[in-house]
Amino acid sequence: MCKKFMVNLVVCFFFLFSFSVFAQPPGGPRPPKPEEQLKMATEKINKELKLNVSQQQKVKAAYGDFFKEMDKMHQKNQPPPDGPPPPPTEAEKAARKKLAASRDTKVKAALTVAQFKKYQELEKTMRPPKREGPPPGKPQ
């Protein structure tokens, strides 16, 4: 009786361990697809700024272009299959800033001065959080 219990216990631990190992893809969670990002961003902006139909279309176009270009950059800079992505280079950071500036210029053209001021504050809350400490997978 005790031997059977021990075998069952070992089998249960094996299954629990194997599920926990494969619970998450390597390298951590993946960011949402550009279409999902576009939907989330435009819904939040439309709700907070109370945009009219014309403004909604212009903001959606600006963000659509932005997310497509960001996705192209991510595709080009694929992380190694066995580890976390390398930190972005200065050129990549500059390209991201240029894309964001272009997006914001298009958004500014669609909004009133008061709406754009509110947009600038809102946009800061929509950025992905910065990681603290060493990159994932690196010992501290």
Q: For residue 133, what are its two tokens?
A: 């400490």
Domain for residue 41, yes or no?
yes
Q: Please state the domain count of the chain.
A: 1
**What is the residue range of 109's domain?**
31-77+89-127
User: For residue 68, is pLDDT > 90?
Assistant: yes
Which residue type does 33 have? K
In the block, tokens 């932005």 appear at 66
pLDDT attached to residue 44: 94
Position 32 confidence tier, pLDDT thresholds 50, 70, 90: confident
- pLDDT (tens digit, 9 = 90+) per residue, 87-107? 778 988 899 999 999 999 999
User: For residue 111, is pLDDT > 70?
Assistant: yes
Position 11 confidence tier, pLDDT thresholds 50, 70, 90: low
Domain for residue 11, yes or no?
no
Share of the chain above pLDDT 70, in %: 65
Domain for residue 8, yes or no?
no
Position 1 confidence tier, pLDDT thresholds 50, 70, 90: low
Domain for residue 114, yes or no?
yes
Task: Give, in order, the Cα–Cα distances in Å from 90 to each of 66, 70, 94, 115, 128.
Answer: 19, 15, 6, 32, 19
Domain for residue 21, yes or no?
no
Position 128 confidence tier, pLDDT thresholds 50, 70, 90: confident
Domain for residue 57, yes or no?
yes
Domain for residue 112, yes or no?
yes
Domain for residue 84, yes or no?
no
The model's pTM is: 0.68
